[in-house]
Each structure stands twice: as structure tokens, then as C-alpha cells.
Structure 1
Amino acid sequence: MASPHISELFTYLTFSTFYLLSTALALVFLYVFGSFLSFIIFYLQESIHSSHRPPVAGTVFHQLLNFSNLFDYLTNLSIKHKTFRLVKPSHSDIYTTDPANIEYFLKTNFSNYNKGRVNYDIMKDLFGDGIFAVDGEKWKHQRKLASYEFSTKVLRDFSTAVFRTKAAKLAKKIAEVAGSATGVDMQDLLMKSTMDSIFKVGFGVELETLSGTDDLGAAFSKAFDESNYMVFRRYVDIFWRAKRNFNIGLEGQLKKNLKVIDEFVFQLIQHKREQMESNVKDKMKEDILSRFVLASQKDTTMNDKYLRDIILNFLIAGKDTSANTLSWFFYMLCKNPLVQEKIVAEIKEVIEFENGGSIDGFVNRLTEEVLDRMQYLHAALAETLRLFPAVPVDGKLAEEDDELPDGFKVKKGDGVTYISYAMGRMTYLWGEDAEDFRPERWLKNGTFQPESSFKFVSFNAGPRICLGKDFAYRQMKILAATLLHFFKFKLKNESMIARYKTMFTLHMDKGLPVIPLPRFC
């Protein structure tokens, strides 16, 4: 029989636990109720005081409900309004597909529109103080260093050699299963290939994720891709900070992923420092990270954490954008076999390579001059980016009150976002066939004709325009030309309709199962 003291202690502990749980639940309820109440008040204020403001088309809760098809949801709203607002608890986000507005806040009045505190707070756990998340001196510093590197002939030649090597390696891997009914996940292979490429070009490290022998690299890549999705979801989850504090849900998993990412990247930086110290006489390396490490030796503010942030920003720019674009490119070629054959015909005409020749021999023919002559291939890649931009939405925050060219008022603290995914589908920009995949729209007398960067915003525009645009096209053309010369591609399931996974980059959900067939037997 339990003693009275033990019984009393048990009763006390039970009551205390119940009291603590009740208090915690009450606090959570008050927090949620208060958040909703403040949002309703703000929403009513924004709706009532809306003179010369973009129309309110929805709220952050509409975005949350439509998160799995968010970019199509925004496209449907854009068909009704070239410029509109979605209301959040703390501010309004203005969305636009109007090139005049986009030129205004990306270029003309660039100083009034920064990434801002809201974007920085959401992105900093993954991207830190990297170039895509910061403003001011940090952005200028990284932009200046990167701009110099991308303009050097040494880096251009080095990257081209790497792209050729990786393209040949990918083609040989596909050759092993070409014609097999099992097929391959094309997106997975492209992700691994471009990751191996950016680590070599950007960081001077030879990964083996494509060969499947680099477990650490594969774990890092998986953690990075998952984190891309989890961090982007914060834009529609008003309780993400609370979840992070309690380490629950996606925020709990994100924390684990960030640990994997940080351990891998800090080891990479340490290895790079040791490598450079052991080669004192040869410090001018070809890769980008070596240049940043050299700069850090003169600037004490560029510590390992800062280098980590730079690496992850270069990674999303160099891996995700090219791999995702190529995934959609091969998907569209499978859906449009005539376009696929037109590209193959152009490759044969330009390169004059003997059928049945070696893969290594072919990639060595892919010089800059040869690639520049592949105008139809370039147009097909641009057409892919028009419909499936690597970065489907991107935006800034207004530092001061302003007025857009279309006459709509902007308040200090408003988000201002361009929807490149929707823009590619606007008939007022591209004609009645806007949703058709038609590379010919980019050609005049067989020569590629670029569009305004404020109409075709796949590489950003203004002072923040992508420094790696030419590198991206070069890598994609080398990979595409190599694979299409040796293989014909068809979908494993001909009726497949590809969907995206909503994240910072337009990642194809559930991969791209294709069957590659050898062109030369």
C-alpha cells in the first residue's frame, strides 16, 4: 500500500503537469487567436484604405491552401490583374507581370527596393549572408568579387573543360541503360551531374554523386534540396517562427538538414584552406572558392561562416537552375518530338561529327564557336525558360512610399514581386500561343533574337542580373547537344503530365522517368 506522502507527491505532480499543459495550451491559443485578430484588422485596413492601390486578390491563407500549385494560382490571378495584392499579417505583397513595373523596381528606382528584413529573416538559416539574401555593402562586395571572376578567361576556359568532361560522363552513364525498359530518372541524373560540375568549377572539389560513390555528397545534396522547399514554405506559414522555436514539424527537420549542410561545407572550406596553404607558390586557383579564400586572408570579416553562405548561394545558382531547366527542356522535347529532331539536325550540321564516333571525341568538338552556331538549340532553351523559369517568383521590399508606372501606390514595407512563371503565359506579352512550346518565336532568319530582360526575367534584370547567364547557357548547350546527339528520348509514360514542387527553384516533382534510345546502333 502506497504511503500517504507518495500518494500526495503523485497527486501534486499530476496536478502540476496538468497545470503546465493547460497554461501552455492557453498561451498557444492566445497567440494563434491574437495573430488571427491582428491579421483581420490589418486586412480590413488594407481593403478599406485602398485608393490607388493594387486590387486585393487574396491573402496569405489563399497561398497556403494553394501551395502545391502556387505558381499556377498566381498565374490565374495575373490573368485577371496585371498587378494585384495579397495581404499578409504584417504587410501587403504586390505581384506584377507588367514589364514597365518590373523595370522600374529592378532598375530605374533600384535603391528603393531591397531584399529587406522580411526576406532576409526567412532565408538566412539556409542562405545566410550570401548574395541572394543580402543588400548594401555585403551584396556589393560579393557582386564585385563574383563579377571579376566571371569575366576572366581562365574561369571561362576551365568551366568549359569541366562541362565537357561531366557531359561525357553523363552520356556514358546513360549509354549503360539506353534502350532498357526500366529507363532513367533524367532529373536525378541532371541534378547529380550539375552538382558535380559546380563543385569542380566553383569550389575545386571532385565529387562523385553521379557515379553513386559519394555518400556524403549525396546526403548533402538531399539535405540541401529538402531545405530549399522547407525555407520557401515559410513565406506562406505565419507560424514558422514559433515552430522553429519549439523545433517541431518542418522546422525541426530543417534544423537537422542544416546540420548536415554545415558540417559538409565547413569541411570543404577547411580542406580548401589546407590545400592552398600547401601550395603557397600556386595560390591563384581556377575555381571561384579559392579566389574568395584569398580575399578572406585580407579581410577578417570574411570568416568561414561568410564563406559557407557564399558557397550555398553559388550552389543554388549553379546546380538547381541548370538542372531544373534541362529537366523541363527534355520533358518538352519528349512532348514535342519534332522539335527534338530539329535540334538533332542542327547539331549534326554544325558539328559535322561522324556517326558512331566516341563520346569523348564529340564533346571535344564543342568549342565556343560551335556552340554559338547552335541557334535553334539556344532558342529551345530560352523557350523552356520562358515557360518554366528556374526562379518562378522573385521580389523586393519597398524602403519608402512610391508609385509604380501603372499608377498603383506602393507603401513603405510592401513586398513587390515579379512572377516570371506567370509572365511566360501572358498572351498580352507573347501572343495567343503564349502557352505553346515554340522555339521559332525566338528566331529571325535563323538567328536568335533576345527579348528585353524585363519581359523575359528568367535571369533577373537590372543591377542584380545573373552574372552566370552565359555560363548557364554554355553548360546547358554542352549537356543538351551531347545527350541529343547520342540518344533519342521519350517519356516512360507517354501520358505523363509533369508537375513542379513549390520551392525557390522550379523543381520537377517526382522526377522525370524517360527511356533513352541509342541513335547509332
Structure 2
Amino acid sequence: MEFGASFWYKSLPTPFCILFFSFTVSFTLLSLLLFILRLIKPWCNCEICRSYVTQSWSSEFDNLCDWYTHLLRKSPTGTIHIHVLSNTITANPENVEHILKTRFENYPKGKSFSAILGDLLGKGIFNVDGDSWKFQRKMASLELGSVSIRSYAFEIVSSEIQTRLIPLLSSHAAQKGNILDLQDVFRRFSFDNICRFSFGLDPGCLQLMLSISDFDKAFDLASKLSAERAMAASQLIWKLKRTLNLGTEKKLKQAIKIVDLLAEEMIKNRRKMGFSTQKDLLSRFMGTIDDDQYLRDIVISFLVAGRDTVASGLTSFFWLLAQHPEVEKAIRDESDRVMGPVSQSGLAQELSSFDQMREMYYLQAAIYESMRLYPPVQFDSKFCEEDDTLPDGTFVRKGTRVTYHPYAMGRMERIWGPDHLKFKPERWLQSGVFTPVSPFKYPVFQAGLRVCLGKEMALVAMKSVAISLIRRFDIQVVTPSQAPTFVPGLTATVRGGLPVVISERRD
């Protein structure tokens, strides 16, 4: 008769043996990883690294981006280095121009960044360099650069506002005191809009009383968990968890499966409906690319760009308006001058035209000012290809992650003056006309060779929604004095959304 551990093990059911073996291997590998991390000591003992690793910064700051802003303000050069992340972070406009323009070739997205977001974005335009990036950008620029395409985009936005957004908000306004999450509404609007424009398909997310789809939840979770990879003290941790299919990596894998199903369905439907004579971006790419996996990556990348950034920008804009009724009134007054006053019933007769939109300088200034303080993409990272020195004298070693930080830049007195924390649209106006600044001072849409191709269409969507809602509704934020806290993600998502109460205007 056998005794001891081997007898006990052999007496167990086979499924339990497999589970026990998997747990033993996982525990052994995790123990080995922790031992290796102790040996190589991936973080130093400086105050900043200790605060990052222990998250002690959170006792004073609600958001990681606010802590980074604090550190960058204290830095004489506007540049810091987080040793634990091997990350040089800057809020210096001269450095931003150096990274995005002067030495563009030395600061690609890099293999490390591509690995972090590779499972979600694959080889899409925001996650690649070289020929693949040039090809996708050229194809997209051909589509997005023409006046006819911009007019087409405006028609889609107008249709979505008139037939879905306004009816949805009106139905909630009729229910006195009913609370609505405006961030969720903007994300649905943006998703419908980007799918109709970029893929020629209408998912119909902005329907009355429609519950959150599995895709929405999966997309948000995949974005959040992918971003958390970039915040890890060592890539070995998430890579090992991915190999073993454990914890957050298991959840990420499951979320991406749902995202993949949506992209596959879009490609299949577009192919079934025909694409040779269509205007949308997907049809243009399908005329050149036969690889469905590559098409999937392109679809997901444009969804990230079109859904989350516009929704994020609108959410912050309406939160700021709630605290600054004088800005809201100035926008209404401008719209009355350009479009004519609202009717006696208090309802706008129609949406603004494309030409009218261009004349609303104060509206554009207010939106730019909102994104100065709350950019939809709070920071962006590259990787240094070869040793380099930034204009402020900071040495950057080969392989270092280099991050420019639009969120922090919008809060720097040395860039915007003593009223840098004030929401002040007038700072963008000269003699009443909107006047932009250097994109390296305001890199909300990136700058240089990677400047956002969809910038104009994103602005048209934001301005169209803003003016339509401001003229028709009174929107009261439930907690206007509560500063936003952000969920980790590729774009700025407000934790808890933006709860509002909506009523029809009766001026």
C-alpha cells in the first residue's frame, strides 16, 4: 500500500488534480517572479518612486494626473523622471516640439508600447510605426481631408442629434427630476456617429431606454485594463499573468473577445452590403486590404478615437458650464446673433448650418478652453530610439519611455499665466475672433506628423451637440462642485459619470 503525498494525490479526481497542478505551477512562477524583482530592484528608493509604488500620493490627490501636475510644476524645467516606470514626463512645450516634430523619428510608439496595447489595438494606426502607420494615415487622410467628406460628417451628426439625441433628452425632461447620466448619453451618441461615418453601419445605441450593451462594457473594461498595464512597475507582472490567464489578464482576454465579435460583424456586414462605391473609411480600407485581422485592428482604432474622445470632451464641457453660467449665456447670445433667436415656444427652429458653426468663435473658444483643462487624452507616450538630450537639458537614455502631458500643460502658470486654473474662453479670442496657439503648447490633438486627422470632425461634432443642447435645454449637474475623478483608461472617463437633471427651456 502506498502512503504519503503521492498516495493522496493519486486518490484525487482527475479534474481536481489538473486544477491543483495549475495552481501549484502558478504559485511557483509568481514566487519566482517576486524573487527576481527583489534581485533586480526595478524601483529606486527616491521619494517619487516610493510614493508611486505605495500609492501614497492618493492621500493628497484624487487623480494620478493631478499628482504628476504637482510634480511638474515643482520641476524647474517642467520635466520629471519616474524611475520605477523608466518614464521621462514633460510639460515643457519646447520638449514637446522636439519629440513630436524635430526628432520625430527618434520617438516612435515603440515595441514596448505596442506590446502593452497590442491585444486591444493590434496593428491599428495608434499602435504602430513605420510603413504600417504611413499607409493607414495616408488612406485616412485621403478620406478625411476633403470638404465633401466634412459636409457628409456634418450631415450624419445633424441627423443623429435631430432624430435621436434631442428626442432622448426631451423624454427625460418630461419626467420631472429624473436623473440621467450625460456621459453615458454622449458615449452612445459618439459610438453611433463614428460607426455611421467610418463604417457605414448604424448600431442604434442612442435609443430610448436602451440598456448598456455587452460591447460597451467590454470595450470600457478592455481600455481600462490595457491602460493599467502601462502603470505596472514591471511588464513582467502582466506578461506572466497573461501567459497563465490569471486575474486582470483573464478579464482582459474575455473583454477583447467581445470587442472582436463586434469588429468581425462590422466587417462581415460591410462586405455583404458592398463597399466599392461607399464613402465610409472601412470601405476605402477594404478596397485595398484582404486581411480581416488587419481590418479588425483598424476598426478598433477608429472606434477608440471617435467614441471616447468626443464623449470625454463633451462631458467635461458641460460639467464646466454648470459652474460657469455666464459662459453658457454668452454662447446662447452668440448663437442668437448668428442663427437668430429661438422661437417663442423656447425651441430652436433648426440646427446650425456648417457655415454658421464656423462663425461661432466664442463657442469654439469655450470648447478649446474646456479641453485645455480637461483634455480627452491626458497624456501620450513614445519610446526613445537612441540616446538624446531634450531642449531643457534632460538626458534621455535609449529605450526610455517619454511622455508629454497635456493635462499638466493646461495647468502650468509658466505656459498660461497667473489665471491658468480659471475657465476663461476669452483667452482664445483676439478682437472677438478665435485665435489658436502653437499645437506644442496645446497638444490636445497631438502635433507634428501625428497630428489628429479627425480634429475638424471631432470639433464639428462637439460644437453641434453643444449648441443644440444649450439652445434647447437647461441642464443642471447634480453635484457641480465635485471635481471629476477619472477611471484609468486610454481616454479621460469620469468615475460615476455625469448625473444631470434636464428641463426644456422656456425663455
Q: TM-score, length-normalised on structure 2?
A: 0.91
Stretch deviating more after TM superposition (235-244 or 261-270)? 235-244
Tell me the residue number matched to 1:220.
Answer: 215
Report what 1:294 is aligned to. Answer: 287
- State the 1:24 CA deviation: 5.2
Alignment partner, residue 435 of structure 1 = 421
Identity, % of aligned positions: 34
- Judged with a 3 Å threshold, the aligned counterparts in structure 2 of structure 1 residues 10 and 415 are, in CA distance, closer, same or farther, namely same
Partner of 1:85: 81
Distance 1:212 1:13, change over 3 A: farther
- Whether 1:153 aligns to 2:144 is no
1:304, distance to aligned residue in structure 2 (A)? 0.7
Counting only pairs closer than 5 Å after superposition, residues 290-369 of structure 1 correspond to structure 2 as: 290-296=283-289, 300=290, 303-356=291-344, 361-363=349-351, 366-369=352-355
Distance 1:361 1:289, change over 3 A: farther
Relative distance call for 1:272 and 1:24 in structure 2 (3 A) is closer
Task: Report deviation, 1:5.
Answer: 6.1
Give the conservation status (yes or no) of the 8 Å contact 2:313–2:370.
Answer: yes
**Paired AA for residue 496 in structure 1:** Q
Quick check: 1:406 aligned with 2:402?
Answer: no
> Secondary structure, in 3 states, of the residue corresponding to 1:132?
helix
**SS of 2:126's equivalent?**
coil
| 1:39/1:201 CA distance change after superposition, 3 Å | same
Tell me which of 256, 259, 266 is aligned to 2:257.
259
In structure 2, the CA distance between the partners of 1:347 and 1:20, relative to structure 1 (3 Å rule), is closer
- Specify the alignment match of 2:173 in structure 1: 178
Aligned pairs, number: 492
Partner of 1:509: 495
- For residue 459 of structure 1, the aligned residue among 445, 449, 452 is 445
Contact between 2:343 and 2:349, CA under 8 Å: does it hold in 1?
A: no
Q: Which amino acid aligns with 2:328?
A: Q
Deviation at 1:490, TM superposition (A): 1.3
Deviation at 1:491, TM superposition (A): 1.4
Mapped contact 1:70–1:502 kept (Cα < 8 A): no
Q: 1:375 aligns with which of 361, 364, 373?
A: 361
Question: Hey, what's the Cα distance between the residues in 2 that align with 1:240 and 1:36?
Answer: 17
Cα distance in 2, alignment partners of residues 156 and 405 from structure 1: 38
CA distance in 2, matches of 1:121, 1:417: 17
2:267 aligned with 1:274, yes or no? no
Change (3 A) 1:374 1:247: same
- Which residue of structure 2 lines up, in the alignment, with residue 200 of structure 1? 196
Distance 1:148 1:29 in 2: 52
Q: Tell me, yes or no, if structure 1 residue 481 matches structure 2 residue 476.
A: no
Distance change (3 Å), C-alpha of 1:9 and 1:43? closer
- 1:210 shift after superposition: 1.0
Q: CA separation in 2, counterparts of 1:96 and 1:8?
A: 57
Please, what is the CA RMSD of the aligned residues? 2.5
SS at match of 1:58: helix
Shift of 1:211: 0.3
For residues 63 and 144 of structure 1, the distance between their equivalents in structure 2, rounded to whole angstroms, comes to 44
Give the AA of the match of 1:253. Answer: K
Name 2:402's counterpart in structure 1: 416
Could you tell me how far apart the structure 2 residues matched to 1:8 and 1:78 are? 58
Q: What is the CA distance between 1:495 and its match in structure 2?
A: 3.8
Cα deviation code 1:333-358 (max 9, x no counterpart): 01111111111111111101541579
Residue 161 of structure 2, aligned match among 158, 167, 173: 167
Where in structure 2 are there 5+ consecutive unaligned residues? none
Equivalent residues in 2 for 1:49-88, closer than 5 Å: 57-58=48-49, 61-62=52-53, 69-81=63-75, 82-88=78-84
Extract unaligned runs of 5+ from structure 1.
Answer: 48-55, 278-282
Are 2:48 and 1:37 aligned? no
Once residues 3 and 395 of structure 2 are traced to their aligned partners in structure 1, the CA distance between those partners, rounded to angstroms, is 69
1:359–1:226 distance in 2 versus 1, CA, 3 Å: farther
SS in 1 for 2:80: strand
Residues 86, 353 of structure 1: alpha-carbon distance in 2 compared, 3 angstrom cutoff? same
Q: Is the 8 A contact 2:346 2:472 kept in 1?
A: no
Q: Which residue of 2 aligns with 1:52?
A: none
Give 2:189's aligned amino acid. S
CA distance in 2, matches of 1:8, 1:453: 67
In 2, Cα distance between the equivalents of 1:260 and 1:23? 29
SS in 1 for 2:207: coil
Matched-pair contact (CA < 8 Å) for 1:208–1:214: no
- Segment drifting more, 217-226 vs 21-30: 21-30
Report how far residue 383 of structure 1 moved: 0.5
The CA distance in 2 between the partners of 1:461 and 1:477, in whole Å, is 22
Aligned 8 A contact 1:321 1:391 in 2: yes
Question: d(CA) in 1 for partners of 2:5 and 2:190?
Answer: 66
Partner amino acid for 1:350?
A: V
Q: Say which is worse superposed, 171-180 or 201-210, in terms of deviation.
A: 171-180
Q: Is the 8 A contact 1:489 1:514 kept in 2?
A: yes
User: Against the structure 1 CA distance between its residues 6 and 85, is the aligned structure 2 distance closer, same or farther, given a 3 Å change threshold?
Assistant: closer
What's the counterpart of residue 280 of structure 1?
none
What do the CA deviations read for 1:36-59 (whole angstroms, capped 9, x no partner)?
Answer: 32135x748xx8xxxxxxxx9436
Residue of structure 1 in register with 2:27 after alignment: 25
SS of 1:434's equivalent?
coil
